[in-house]
Each structure stands twice: as structure tokens, then as C-alpha cells.
């Protein structure tokens, strides 16, 4: 029986669509394509339920509890991906153009994407798992320190201010970028918090 790492390596080599389950439950579920992995993280192109690419995610490998490369859900999704391609909404964010900006030879996948987000002032989402559910923050990297990320984020239910949190690199299990979530947060901040946010 293949290990999770072997399944991910095979998915990367073949370019096949896979389902990922994290933390041993179905609440933390993603579908997409494995782009690259290192000893702790992998880069994953996410596919939405509509068959469109929905950004990319950096996922901590030891949080992945199951990988599936064959299911009725994946079979159905391939038809939606074909429709998305046919109707020209498969990759509206030009994910491959974003991914081509990265060089993973110098740093881990996580640190490479964090440095890119900081340098280019890009909105990202960070996920940590302190309890039963993953806690997710969406915003800007304020600073990259030796052990922590200083992160400025928004709360969509309270746009009166930006919020700040310091997250240890060791606690970050998930990083999402160039997605509907992050571009949506960018639009909110540019419209309602432009002067305050950076």
C-alpha cells in the first residue's frame, strides 16, 4: 500500500486530479493538482466545485490524512473542468503565471510563498489548527521575523479596523493565495480600507 507521500509524488508526476483530506475529517477537504513538494509542504492548485481553478495552497504534509485519485466526485468534476475550459472560466486568475514567479531552490515552499506575498504586497490566507477547526486569517504579511509572521488581517463582519496576529511558522499548516477568497479580500480592502491597511 502506498504512503501519502508516494501518492502525492505519483499525482505530481502524472498530473492527475486528487482529493485531499486533512486532519482526518471531511471538513478540511480540497481537490486539485499537486505542483511540487518538499520535506514539509506541498504546493497544490485548487479546483472549485464549479470546475475552475481556485488559486493555490501550500499545505503541511503531516496534516494530510488521506489522498484519493479515483472517486465518483472526481469523475463528475472532470466534466465540470471540461465545461469551465470550454466556456473560458477555468483559470480566470492565471494561476500558472503566478506559480511561474516562484523559485523553490533557496527556501521551503512555505517561506518562498510568504516572501513573495510580502515583497509583492499580496493578500493571502493563513491557516493554523489550534483545536477542532482550522483557524483562518486573510490579509497581508506585515513582517517576516525569524520564528514568526506578523500578519495584518480583516474580519469581514467588522471592517472598522485591521487586526494583527503573530503566527509561528511551525503553527502554519495552510497558506492560500491567488484565489477567489484572497482576491475578494483584496477588493474589500481596496474599497473600504485603502488608507489604513498597509
pLDDT tens digits along 133-188:
778 999 999 999 999 999 999 888 888 777 899 999 999 999 999 999 999 999 98
Mean pLDDT for the stretch of residues 123-137: 85
Instruction: Please tell me the predicted confidence (pLDDT) of residue 195.
Output: 61
Instruction: Please tell me the predicted confidence (pLDDT) of residue 158.
Output: 83
* Residue 159 falls inside a structural domain: yes
Mean pLDDT of the chain: 92
C-alpha span between 60 and 122 (Å, rounded): 21
* Residue 197 falls inside a structural domain: no
Q: How confident is the model at residue 113 (pLDDT cuts 50, 70, 90)?
A: very high
In the chain, the number of structural domains is 1
Q: Are 47 and 102 in contact (CB under 8 A)?
A: no
Q: Which domain holds residue 34?
A: 4-192
Helix (H) or strand (E) holding 30: strand 29-37
Instruction: Please tell me the predicted confidence (pLDDT) of residue 130.
Output: 67
* Residue 198 falls inside a structural domain: no
pTM (two decimals) = 0.93
Amino acid at each position: 500500500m502506498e504512503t501519502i507521500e508516494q501518492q502525492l509524488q505519483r499525482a505530481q508526476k502524472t498530473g492527475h486530479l486528487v482529493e485531499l483530506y486533512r486532519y482526518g475529517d471531511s471538513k478540511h477537504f480540497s481537490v486539485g493538482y499537486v505542483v511540487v513538494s518538499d520535506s514539509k509542504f506541498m504546493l497544490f492548485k485548487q479546483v472549485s466545485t464549479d470546475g475552475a481553478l481556485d488559486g493555490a495552497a501550500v499545505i503541511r504534509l503531516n496534516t494530510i490524512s488521506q489522498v484519493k485519485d479515483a472517486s465518483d466526485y472526481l469523475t463528475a468534476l472532470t466534466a465540470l473542468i471540461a465545461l469551465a475550459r470550454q466556456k473560458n472560466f477555468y483559470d480566470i486568475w492565471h494561476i500558472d503565471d503566478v506559480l511561474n514567479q516562484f523559485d523553490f531552490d533557496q527556501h521551503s515552499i512555505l517561506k518562498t510563498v510568504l516572501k513573495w506575498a510580502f515583497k509583492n504586497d499580496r493578500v493571502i490566507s493563513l491557516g493554523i489548527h489550534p483545536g477542532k477547526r482550522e483557524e483562518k486569517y486573510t490579509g497581508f504579511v506585515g513582517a517576516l521575523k525569524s520564528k514568526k509572521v506578523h500578519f495584518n488581517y480583516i474580519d469581514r463582519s467588522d471592517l472598522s479596523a485591521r487586526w494583527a496576529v503573530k503566527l509561528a511558522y511551525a503553527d502554519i499548516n495552510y497558506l492560500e493565495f491567488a484565489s477567489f477568497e484572497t482576491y475578494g479580500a483584496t477588493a474589500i480592502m481596496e474599497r473600504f480600507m485603502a488608507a489604513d491597511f498597509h
